[in-house]
Amino acid sequence: MALSAFRHARPPAGATGVLVLADGTHIWGKGFGATGEAVGEVCFNTAMTGYQEVMTDPSYAKQIVTFTFPHIGNVGANEEDIESKVEAALGCVVREDITAPSNFRSAEDFTAWMARHGKIGLAGVDTRALTRRIRQSGAPNAVIAHAPNGKFDLKALEKRAAEWPGLEGMDLAKRVSREKQENWEGGAWTLGKGYGRAPRDAKPHVVAIDYGSKDNIYRNLVRAGARVTVLPATATVEQVMAEKPDGVFLSNGPGDPAATGEYAVPVIRELLDKDMPIFGICLGHQMLAIAAGAKTTKMHQGHRGANHPVKRLDSGVVEITSMNHGFAVDNDTLPDDVLETHISLFDGSNCGIAIKGKRAFGVQYHPEASPGPQDSFYLFEKFVGMLG
């Protein structure tokens, strides 16, 4: 059934959850997890695994994730597979009901875990129809609501969805960033032992700026041989330099990269002027591009999943990457003398930039999670390696 058929449809019997789009479309289902309501942008993610990591990735702040993979929650939840403890995805929309967890690492039912983390779930939705709608019309703003008695004030929800200003122009990075400096201590995960500890005498020293980072990214800097100190998003150039970094890492994060112009971009620009080696991912990559003179744009539907192929333009090698972005660096705005694209998506969109004459580069994806022989961990090794 086309989604338009759901517009103002009566709630089916037993419906305890609803997604109300800003245009007044009602998508009914069974609520799970937290009760209440939340407003944000609806996106879709094509990953087949890693739902807990997706739900705890701060880059999803103010977003409701539609999973195209139908079986979500089937391996339960645990304390280890989270990317952060700060605000991240508001909730999720899934096809199948949440079943009992089946995995030796599961410590908690996904429904209970969602409730404990204040995230609202909506199950039993035709996620293919919703995804098609996003592909055709762009990512809509919406309210996701869950009420066990099935009673909703739909007019109020429609109003809330319609009045939400949208992600464009919204600065969220400093809201989700840690407030205090931290010596990063986590190392790689091994079965039976969990996460290792980072050696504090490792060299070189990377100062990572937290714009809403995923923990795994710091663990990968450690795995590549660095000692990592994490600074808040609003750190000044003086605070960065006081740590005597060999290189600076710019993390992923939520919101519009162009809205960070008052704090992040000027700091990055100054670090570039000082010839500091820099590696940015996702939001960090987008802000690095802005600092170097390019512009970013809001995408029609974005790229989200753990299965997006990109091509390295120098060698033609294709790698499978993990992505989560709704903004992109606009290829037409790259100043030729300053920036070059070195990695591209197959739709031609920009996926990686290098700053000419500097040891500074960025990628649009999360290099830590890419599976397979052509994985992207080499980017961490490349960065840490260039620091000597």
Residues that bind ligand GLN (CB under 6 A): 59, 252-255, 282-283, 324-327
Question: Can 108 be counted among the known catalytic residues?
Answer: no
Q: How far apart are CA 182 and CA 231, in angstroms?
A: 7
- For this structure, is 71 an active site residue? no
Asked if residue 327 belongs to a known ligand binding site, the reply is yes
Minimum Å gap between C-beta 323 and ligand GLN is: 7
Strand duo 141-146 + 120-123: pairing: unpaired
Name the residue among 131, 185, 161 with its Cα closest to residue 39: 161
Nearer to ligand GLN, 65 or 145 (CB): 65
How far is residue 209's CA from residue 231's CA, in Å, rounded to a whole number? 5
Nearest distance, CB of residue 371 and ligand GLN, angstroms: 18
Q: Considering 146, 282, 319, 325, which one is annotated as catalytic?
A: 282
Find, among 102, 113, 235, 119, the residue nearest to 178 by Cα. Answer: 235
Taking the C-alpha atoms of residue 281 and residue 317, their distance in angstroms, rounded to an integer, is: 20
**Catalytic-role residue among 146, 285, 308, 366:** 366
Report the DSSP pairing between strands 296-312 and 318-329.
Answer: antiparallel
Q: Is 216 annotated as a binding residue?
A: no
**Strand order across the 247-250 sheet:** 182-183, 227-232, 205-210, 247-250, 278-281, 360-363, 350-355, 339-345, 296-312, 318-329
286 is in an annotated binding site: yes
In this complex, which beta carbon is closest to ligand GLN, that of residue 76 or of residue 253?
253
Closer to ligand GLN by Cβ: residue 45 or 324: 324
Q: Is 253 annotated as a binding residue?
A: yes
| Angle between helical axes of 215-223 and 378-386 (0-180°, round to 10) | 60
Check the annotation: does 221 bind a ligand.
Answer: no
* In the complex, minimum distance from the CB of residue 295 to ligand GLN, in angstroms, rounded to a whole number: 13
368 catalytically annotated: yes
Name the binding residues.
59, 253, 255, 283, 286, 324, 326-327
Name the binding residues for L-glutamine.
59, 253, 255, 283, 286, 324, 326-327
Question: Could you list the active site residues?
Answer: 282, 366, 368
